[in-house]
Amino acid sequence: MKPRSKRFAWILLGLVGLSAATALVLNAFQSNLVFFFTPTQIANKEAPVGHAFRVGGLVEQGSLHRHGTEVSFVVSDTVKSIPVTYVGILPDLFKEGKGVVAEGQLDDQGLFHAKQVLAKHDENYMPPEAAEALKQAGAMNSKISKSIVTESGSR
Amino acid sequence: MIPEFGHFALIVCLLLSFIQVAVPIAGAQTGNIAWMRIARPTARVQFALVLFAFGCLIYSFLTNDFSVRYVAMTSSRLLPIQYKVAAVWGGHEGSILLWLLMLTFWMTAVSIFSQHLPESTLARILGVMGFISLGFLLFILLTSNPFDRLIPAADDGQDLNPLLQDPGMVFHPPMLYMGYVGFSVAFAFAIAALLGGDLDAAWARWSRPWTTIAWVFLTVGICLGSAWAYYTLGWGGWWFWDPVENASFMPWLMGTALMHSLAVTEKRGGFKFWTVLLAIFAFSLSLLGTFLVRSGVLTSVHAFASDPKRGVFILIFLVVVIGGSLSLFAWRAPKVGLGGRFSMVSRESMLLGNNVLFAAAAGSVLLGTLYPLFLDALGLGKISVGPPYFDTVFVPVMAPALFLMGVGPLARWKEASLPELAIRLRWAALVSVLTALGLTLITSHFSILVAFGLLLAIWIVVTAGFNLWSRIRPLPDSNLHPLQRLKGLPSSYLGMLVAHLGVAVFVVGITMVKGYEVEKDVQMDLGDIVEIGPYTFKFKGVSEGEGPNYRFQRGDVDILRNGEFVRNMAPEKRIYLVQRNPMTNAAIDTGFLRDLYVSLGEQVGNTAWTVRVYYKPFVDWIWGGCLLMALGGVLALADKRYRIEKRNSKVTTQNERTA
C-alpha cells in the first residue's frame, strides 16, 4: 500500500470506529434516561404509563403498610399524592414524613410499582428530587419549606 | 491556640506557593540556575507546613476541641479514637486539606527522586505543581477553612456520619486521594515538557513510574471503596455507577490509557501528542471529580453540605487549569513532532486501540455523569442515568479491549504480520473456546453473556501463559532451565502479565456474580429457613445490645450446607446515639468461590423480621482482580532500569562536579 492510501485507510477506520461508538453510546443513552415527575405532574397525566421514571416527595404520615416484604405507601408533594407499592426491604432512612424518591412504572390504575426506593444516607437530608417536587407544588410558604431550607443548608 | 497555628501555617504555605510558581518557572525560561533551584526547598517546606497544619487538625479532633467548627460538625466525644482520626477527612474542609497534603507530598517526592532531571525541567515541574497547590490553598483559605472557630463552643459534636464509621474510612480516602492527586505529577511533567519544548523518550521514561504509582494507588483506592460499599450499605452491591464513583473511575480509565500510551512513547517515541493529551485529561478528570464531589452539585454519601461559593471557585480553577493547559498544548504541540511510524498491524496500533477504547469508555461515563447535571443547571428538568446505560455501553466497549489484551503483547513493535499472529494464537484461541464451553456446560444454566465473559477471561490467561512460555521455553542453543530464564525476565514484563491476569480474574468475578447471584428478600420468623443451592439459612431470632456509641439489634442466623452446620451469622441493625441514624451491618461469610450475605431489614411482627439473604458466587474475585492489577503496577515499578538509571545519573552528576 502507498503511504497515502495507508493513511486514508487509517482515517477511514478511525471514523468508522468513532461513529459506531458514538451511535452505540447515544442509543444506549436515549433508551436508558430516567425522567423525573412530581405527584402533581402524574395527577395531570404528564407521566408515561408503562415506562420507567422517578417520582419524589414526602412519605405521607400513616400511609406505610407492610405485608411481609410487600410494602405500600403514599408519596405526596402536599398537593397531590400517588400510591406506591414495592417488594423488598426499604432503605434504613425511609420514614413517614421524610423525603423519598422511587423509581419504577405507573400502571393504568394509577398505582406506581417501584423497582427501587431511595432515601439518602443522612437523617436530615432531603433528596433533591423530593425537594423539587415540594417546591413545584408551591409548598414553599408552609412549614415544610423551612425544613427544606435548613435541611439543605446543613447536614 | 493550636488551630490558629495550623491556620497560620497554611497562610505561610500560600505565600511560598506564589514563590514556587513564579521564580523557578521564570528561572527556567531565562536560564537562571539560582532561581530554578528555589523550587526544591519551597516544595519541601510546603509539605512540612501542610503536614503541620494537618497535625494541628488531628490534635483538635483528638482533644475534642468543639470550639473548632469543623470538629464540632464531624466528631463527638464518644467517637472511637481511630474514627476521630479518620473524621479529619470525614467532611469537606478536612478532605480538601488531605488533598493538599497529598499534593505537597507528591511535590516533595518529585523533588527527592527526580534529582537526575535537568534542573530546568525539574523547576518547571515543581512550578506547575506549585500552581495547583496555590489554587487549593486559596480554595481552603477563602472558602473552606477547617480551623474556623465556633463561638460559643459546642458541648458535644454532631458526630461522624455513621456510614463513615468503618475501617474503610481509615484507608479508602487516603488511598484514593494519593491516586487522584498522583496524576498531577504526570500532568506537571507534560506541561513542563510543553513549556520547555523537549518532549522525548527520556521525558516518557521519567514520567512513566510516576503515572504507574498514582494508578496503583487509585486502583487500590477504588477497590477499597467498592468492597466497603459491598459490606456496609447492606444491599450487597459493589458498584452503583453513582456519579461520585464515576468521578473516580474516569481518571482511572484515562490513567490506564496514559500508562499504555507512555509505553509507546518511551519505547518507540510515538504517540507524543496523544500521551500529553491523556496526561492533561487524566488530571483534569481528577480535578473535575473533586469539583463534582465537593461543589455540592452532586448528592450522595460522598457529598457534604455545600456552599455555592466553593463550587464557583473550583469551577473557575478547573477552567483555568484545563483551558490553560489545552491552549498551551495547541500552541506548543506542533513543535512536538509525531514520532516513529508504525504499520496497521503492530503493537503500537493495538495499544492505540486500547487507548481509543479506554478514552471512549471515559467519555461515555462523562456523558452519563454530566448530562443530568447540565439539564438540571439549565432548568430543563431532572433526569437520571442509571446502571442500565453504563452496563449497555461498557460491555461492547471493553470486550474488544480485552481481546486486544491477548494479542497486543505478542505483536511486534512497528510492523507485525497478521498471518503470523494468527498462527501463533490459533492454539490459544482453540484452548480458550473449549475451556469456556466446558465451564459453561458444568454450570447450572447456560447464559450467553456468562460464556462470553468467561471466554474473554480465559483468552487473557491463555495468551499470557503463552507469552510467558515463549520467553522462557528451553532454547536449543542455550542450556538455561526455564526457571532460570524466568528469573532473568524484567520485572516490568512480569508486572504487565500479572496486571493482565488481574483483569481476567476481575472479569471472571463480574461475570459469575452477574450470571449466577441469588438475592432473596424474605420475611422470617423464629425457626424459619431459606434455601439457596446447597445452603440453608435458619433464622433464630434477634437480640439487643450496646456498642461504644450505638445500640444494636443483632440477628442470629445459622448456615447449614447439605444439613451440616457451617457457621453462625450475626447481622446487625445499629442506631447511633448522636445522630440517631439507623445503619445496617451485613454479616458475610467470605469464601474463595462464593460469599453468603445476610442482612436485617425491618421488624414486621413480634419476632418476625424481613431479611436479605444473598448468594454471591466469585464476588471476591472482583477485588482480588483489582489487587492483582495493582500488584502488577508495583512489579513494573520495581523494574531494574529505573534503579540503574538513578545510579547512572548519580555518576554523571559526580562527573559534572569533578569536571
When CB atoms are compared, the residue of B371, B523, B582 closest to A93 is B582
Instruction: Give CA–CA dist B54/B157, Å, rounded.
Output: 19
When CB atoms are compared, the residue of A31, A153, A155 closest to B304 is A155
Compute how many other C-beta atoms are within 10 angstroms of the C-beta atom of residue A110. Answer: 12
Helix (H/G/I), strand (E/B), else coil: A133: helix
Instruction: Give CA–CA dist B588/B586, Å, rounded.
Output: 6
Instruction: Give CA–CA dist B633/B607, Å, rounded.
Output: 51
Its pTM stands at: 0.90
Angle between helices B272-294 and B201-232 (to 10 degrees): 30
3-state helix, strand, coil in chain B (%, to 5): 65, 10, 20
Statement: B518-618 belongs to CATH 2.60.98? yes
Output phi, psi for B147, to 5 deg.
Answer: -95, 5
Residue contact A122–B581, C-beta within 8 A: yes
Map B368-437 to HEC letters. HHHHHHHHHHCCCCCEEECHHHHHHHHHHHHHHHHHHHHHHHHCCCCCCCHHHHHHHHHHHHHHHHHHHH
What is A24-82 written as a DSSP string?
A: HHHHHHHHHEEEEE-HHHHHTT-SPSSS-EEEEEEEPTT--EEETTEEEEEEE-SS-EE
Residue contact B579–A127, C-beta within 8 A: no
In this prediction, what percent of chain B has a pLDDT beyond 90?
Answer: 50
Q: For all residues of chain B together, what is the average pLDDT?
A: 87
DSSP B77: T
Residue contact A121–B301, C-beta within 8 A: yes
Instruction: Give pLDDT, residue B417.
Output: 79
Instruction: Give pLDDT, residue B104.
Output: 96
Cis check for the bond before B24: say yes or no (omega within 30 of 0): no
**Residues in chain B within 8 Å Cβ distance of A92:** 234, 581-584
Q: Which residue has the cell 494479542?
A: B407
In this prediction, what percent of chain B has a pLDDT beyond 70?
Answer: 93
In 3D space, the residue among B98, B250, B124 whose CA is nearest the CA of residue B177 turns out to be B98
Helix (H/G/I), strand (E/B), else coil: B39: helix
Q: For all residues of chain A together, what is the average pLDDT?
A: 76
Taking every pair of C-alpha atoms in chain A, what is the biggest distance, in angstroms? 78
Instruction: Give pLDDT, residue B578.
Output: 79
The residues near B302 (Cβ < 8 Å, ≥ 6 apart) are B242, B244, B293
For the stretch A114-150, pLDDT in tens is 988 887 544 445 566 667 777 776 644 444 433 333 3
Exposure string of B423-459, with b = 16+ CB inside 10 Å and e = fewer, is ebbeebeebbeebbeebbeeeeeeeeebbebbbbbbb
Where, residue-wise, is CATH 2.60.98 in chain B? 518-618
The residues near B22 (Cβ < 8 Å, ≥ 6 apart) are B127
> Is residue B447 within 8 angstroms of chain A, CB to CB?
no
Min Cα–Cα distance to chain B from A2, Å: 12
When CB atoms are compared, the residue of B371, B384, B389 closest to A28 is B389
The residues near B135 (Cβ < 8 Å, ≥ 6 apart) are B317, B320, B321
Do residues B139 and B313 lie in contact, with contact meaning Cβ atoms separated by under 8 Å? yes
Compute how many other C-beta atoms are within 10 angstroms of the C-beta atom of residue B352. Answer: 22
Do residues B16 and B45 lie in contact, with contact meaning Cβ atoms separated by under 8 Å? yes
Instruction: Give pLDDT, residue A140.
Output: 40
DSSP B162: G
When CB atoms are compared, the residue of B382, B393, B604 closest to A25 is B393
Instruction: Give CA–CA dist B597/B588, Å, rounded.
Output: 5
> Is residue A149 within 8 angstroms of chain B, CB to CB?
no
Taking every pair of C-alpha atoms in chain B, what is the biggest distance, in angstroms? 89
Output phi, psi for A144, to 5 deg.
Answer: -60, -40
Q: Which residues of chain B have pLDDT under 70?
A: 234, 294-308, 335-340, 444, 643-659
Min Cα–Cα distance to chain A from B375, Å: 11
Instruction: Give pLDDT, residue B231.
Output: 83
Do residues B196 and B30 lie in contact, with contact meaning Cβ atoms separated by under 8 Å? no
Instruction: Give pLDDT, residue B325.
Output: 93
Output phi, psi for A120, to 5 deg.
Answer: -80, -175
Q: Which residue, among B350, B393, B414, B598, would best test binding to A if mutated, counting the most A CBs under 10 Å from its CB?
A: B393
Helix H or strand E segment including B59: helix B39-62
Instruction: Give CA–CA dist B46/B525, Å, rounded.
Output: 61
What is B458-484 written as a DSSP string?
A: HHHHHHHHHHHHHHHS--TT----HHH
What is B582-630 written as a DSSP string?
A: EEEE-EEEE-SSEEEEEEEEEE-SSS-EEEEEEEEETTHHHHHHHHHHH
Instruction: Give pLDDT, residue B166.
Output: 86
Helix (H/G/I), strand (E/B), else coil: B522: strand
What pairing do the DSSP bridges indicate for beta strands A33-37 and B383-385? antiparallel
**Residues in chain B within 8 Å Cβ distance of A127:** 299
**Residues in chain B within 8 Å Cβ distance of A51:** none
Do residues B241 and A34 lie in contact, with contact meaning Cβ atoms separated by under 8 Å? no
> Is residue A33 within 8 angstroms of chain B, CB to CB?
yes
> Is residue B563 within 8 angstroms of chain A, CB to CB?
no
Angle between helices B243-268 and B201-232 (to 10 degrees): 150
Q: Which three cell numbers stand for residue B637?
A: 515499578
Instruction: Give CA–CA dist B338/B316, Å, rounded.
Output: 33
Do residues B147 and B50 lie in contact, with contact meaning Cβ atoms separated by under 8 Å? no
Q: Which three cell numbers stand for residue B445?
A: 444454566
ipTM score assigned to the predicted complex: 0.78
**Residues in chain A within 8 Å Cβ distance of B604:** 66, 68
Q: Which residue has the cell 477547617?
A: B146
Do residues B569 and B560 lie in contact, with contact meaning Cβ atoms separated by under 8 Å? no
Inter-chain CB pairs, A–B, below 8 Å: 103
Q: Which three cell numbers stand for residue B75?
A: 466528631
Instruction: Give CA–CA dist A38/A137, Å, rounded.
Output: 8
Instruction: Give pLDDT, residue A155.
Output: 27
Q: Which three cell numbers stand for residue B536?
A: 440453608
Residue contact A10–B344, C-beta within 8 A: yes
Min Cα–Cα distance to chain A from B90, Å: 12
Instruction: Give pLDDT, residue B464.
Output: 93
Q: Residue type at B291?
A: F
For the stretch B159-211, pLDDT in tens is 888 878 888 889 999 999 999 999 999 999 999 999 888 777 788 888 999 99
Helix (H/G/I), strand (E/B), else coil: B157: coil
Q: Which residue, among B357, B358, B384, B530, would best test binding to A if mutated, counting the most A CBs under 10 Å from its CB?
A: B384
> Is residue B311 within 8 angstroms of chain A, CB to CB?
no
